[in-house]
Chains A and B, each alone.
Chain A
């Protein structure tokens, strides 16, 4: 089976289409970043409070909003989260409502607001953040429903918490439910100290402003350092212009991906930054495969001009490019579709990034080499058409007879050393 065989598409001839395509998406993204949604940052970077709440029955969003409003949390955002059958919502407060001095204040306010029937003198077995094995054990030891020694209540308390966390998915509908794992007398004793609300907090992210700024700086550093690292490696393996072209292509991908987040108003979290760095690596991969072929073909096709060589190289690697991208796209799509809410932003970045990364290695990086050469020969006619890449499998230096530029020729000694790699 084969999808592509001896294709001969004139990619460079379509450069104006490519340029306008890239410009449209980049500019749309930039405009959105400046005037519309800006860069929507996740709670990691902007700070704030996110509380994941699971309800015992289908949550009534307007009721939740009313409860939060009543408690003074007027700007809380409420969204359904995950699979609808799980009855989960995520409630978020922005940084203004997240106090640096008392970080979990917002979370506790949300819990208090949702408590619709708090019982005096008892604790909420689903929610109080003081409740764990230790507290349940302590209360059981005090009541001593099994008339046994305190150590035995360790196991009982553990069973109760395990049942709540695993079997009940974090929320007990009522305390009687626990009869499934512990004796009735224990359940009766629990009822004297605890009650159950109709919701449970499954998790929370609370980030103060200081850490957000710190992470923002780290994320910038990560992106910039990895671009520099790659530039240096390509400079060493090929030539500076190859490195520059690849980095420009990758920057183009990053810009469009971040633009896509801005346009769709999806939040950029720490894991999205990881995804962006991955796509930087991935797009670089694609570009290198094409560049490698160009390097090889420059030596084989002495007569043809660079434009032709580049075109041929792209065509020769097209089958591989499309296949690999297609397969990686398949796995990433599987992540996007089945990977759950937490990985949603991550896989969205990769879905966009792989499409753009594949496109850019064909439509941005390779044409840049040709554009650079055109510019060079216009500036100084008679120069070498392109700095021939240094690495080669012991072949003769490229660009022979086409110019006298020192860069155009590969020192034989260097070529030998590189050939080992």
Chain B
């Protein structure tokens, strides 16, 4: 009996030490500050306590599908022209809601086999259905569309991660939010400049170099641009808003080529630099292939040549950022100017380096917690925890006298294990998590009460102390097990269905209840046994 008790006590002390290590690690010292530092090194605070930014973004996956089908439309037009098949129109009837559908009008049934041949040859990711009146429908296969959407979300996460890493945020969390909603959850601890960070994340950073038309200063309005061409834009061009660059920051309208010469994925490097006047700007390099293409374009369209449309538009996120005459052939470098300060030039260079987003992003939720708000919450949470714990500890001592010490030891050990567990697993402590800790105290004491009440009952039935303790633990065990399992069931469901801070609550509650099974049943029993082993036969138990 004695030896058995010693082993059990050793196990308990061992576990206590292990979990104390879980909480503190190896602290540098034992002063209050050193211990506080040690705890914070092990148990991470959630955004609501530390302060930071919590965002949910919607990835507009249709953008990516549209880009793909736009490409298919161009390809189809080229191929049909090559095969000398006549068509009236190729367009997408509803790009916003049904980006995967392309309608081809005016291809006669005789030419149908040629159309089918082109689609099965070059566009095998699409289904072609013939309809009435020489109208055909080309639809991207659903599986291809789903793959594309999934890939778009993954690429967006990757791009955001690259950007956030360059911001120097410690321990950012970037992951898909929910299943199949095409949403991304971003959590950034310790952020002050919410607006800047949001802009950086959301910026598509799609840099394109397009041919510019007409003149270097653009037009005052869209009407003016149209009027200059007699109401119809030249083929293969579109209008875009933006600034001409230099000192002029007013909104202008430019006519630019519809298809970019160089697209967003062709940037090899970008860095902040200065223009000849020492103002901050951003310079970039192109990949080798894009450099060749760009070189061919600039040698064909420059001031020395005959084409009057020898302008280059630097387009960022569908806004013209620079519109200038091409003096000579340019191979693989370029510059973006236009009203940067040092910080914004750095940010843009970083965005270009980290890659464009494959689709635009919309913010669905923004929660920002200032560090001072978090500090208030910690103070309130800790105060509530201390008061709650003290009240319970004192009550147990008064109500159960000697056995109250048992319960108190079990309860404190329960907390040590819970916090140590969080330290080991790297769980995050949130404000609802602190509430979970407090609730664990409340529910943890329940097991002790169940057992003690049962022992008292047995003692009232004139059982000897040792037998009463034995029966008390035995009888209470089934109840304790049932109550714990049901609560853990709801905590687990909470974890899977809930999100953010609620998850933190579910985690602490589950760990706390598991720890409680050990402390209230095993530890408390060992203490009882060691007390009983020292008692004389017939001596009363303090409970």
Interface, chain A (partner B; CB < 8 A): 1-2, 52, 54, 82, 86, 100-101, 103-104, 128-135, 138, 141-142, 161, 165-166, 169-170, 200-208, 210-211, 214-215, 218-219, 221-222, 225-226, 229-230, 233-234, 237, 270-271, 273-275, 277-278, 280-282, 284-285, 288-289, 292-293, 296, 316-317, 319-320, 323-324, 327-332, 334-335, 337-343, 346-347, 350, 391, 393, 421
Contact = CB atoms under 8 A, between A and B. Distances in A.
A339 B449 CA distance: 26
A293 B453 CA distance: 13
B7 to A, nearest CB: 25
Contacts of B445: 324, 327-328
Nearest to A293: B479
Contact of A334 (B191, B391, B498, B501): B391
A288 B370 contact: no
B64 interface: no
B260 interface: no
Contacts, number: 274
A236 B381 CA distance: 38
Interface string B356-397: 000000111111111111011101110111011101100110
Given A165-B372, A347-B435, A233 B489 contact: yes
Contacts of A320: 446, 449-450, 453
Contact of A130 (B58, B196, B371): B196
Given A52-B373, A214-B181, A331-B391, A132 B193 contact: yes
Nearest to B485: A233
Given A202-B370, A280-B490, 5 more contacts: A222-B498, A234-B486, A274-B502, A320-B453, A324-B450
B438 A335 contact: yes
B255 interface: no
Contacts of A271: 431-432, 435, 501-502, 505
A335 B435 contact: yes
Given A233-B486, A342-B48, A129 B193 contact: yes
A282 B478 contact: no
Contact of A218 (B432, B478, B498): B498
Which 3 A/B pairs are nearest by Cβ-Cβ distance? A340-B380, A132-B193, A129-B195
Contacts of B369: 202-203
A410 to B, nearest CB: 15
A131 to B, nearest CB: 6
Contacts of A327: 391-392, 395-396, 442, 445-446, 449
A347 B388 CA distance: 13
A43 B435 CA distance: 21
Contacts of A316: 457
B317 to A, nearest CB: 15
B398 interface: yes
A170 B370 contact: yes
Contact of B487 (A214, A234, A282): A282
B81 interface: no
A383 to B, nearest CB: 27
Nearest to A200: B370
B446 A346 contact: no
A237 B484 CA distance: 13
B91 interface: no
A323 B453 contact: yes
A292 B482 contact: yes
Contact of B489 (A201, A229, A329, A335): A229
Interface in B482-517: 482-483, 485-487, 489-491, 493-494, 497-502, 505-506, 509
B192 A165 contact: yes
A284 B498 CA distance: 20
Contacts of B485: 233
Given A103-B366, A208-B365, A282-B443, A346 B432 contact: yes
Contacts of B377: 340, 342-343
A319 B486 contact: no
Contact of A135 (B196, B449, B497, B499): B196
A270 B367 CA distance: 13
Contacts of B165: none
A101 B58 CA distance: 11
A222 B439 contact: no
Interface string B433-473: 00100110111011001100100110000000000000000
Contacts of B489: 226, 229-230, 233, 281
B442 A103 contact: no
Contact of B486 (A86, A288, A340): A288
A204 B366 contact: yes
Contacts of A133: 192-193
Most chain B beta carbons < 10 A, residue from A141, A211, A317: A211
A203 B54 CA distance: 11
Contacts of A100: 362, 364
B481 interface: yes
B192 to A, nearest CB: 4
A1 B487 contact: no
B343 A134 contact: yes
Contacts of A104: 194-195, 198, 363, 366
B401 interface: yes
B399 interface: yes
B171 interface: no
A82 B376 contact: yes
13 contacts: A129-B193, A202-B372, A210-B58, A226-B489, A277-B493, A278-B490, A292-B482, A320-B453, A330-B391, A330-B392, A331-B438, A334-B384, A343-B435
B326 interface: no
A133 B170 CA distance: 14
Contacts of B417: none
Contacts of B381: 339-340, 343
B376 A292 contact: no
Most chain A beta carbons < 10 A, residue from B369, B373, B457: B373
Nearest to A49: B366
Nearest to B505: A274
Contacts of A54: 372
Most chain B beta carbons < 10 A, residue from A233, A327, A337: A327
Contacts of B370: 52, 165, 170, 200-203
B56 interface: yes
Interface string B186-224: 000001111110100000000000000000000000000
Given A131-B193, A203-B368, A289-B479, A2 B456 contact: yes
Contacts of A166: 371-372, 375
A310 B498 CA distance: 37
A319 B431 CA distance: 32
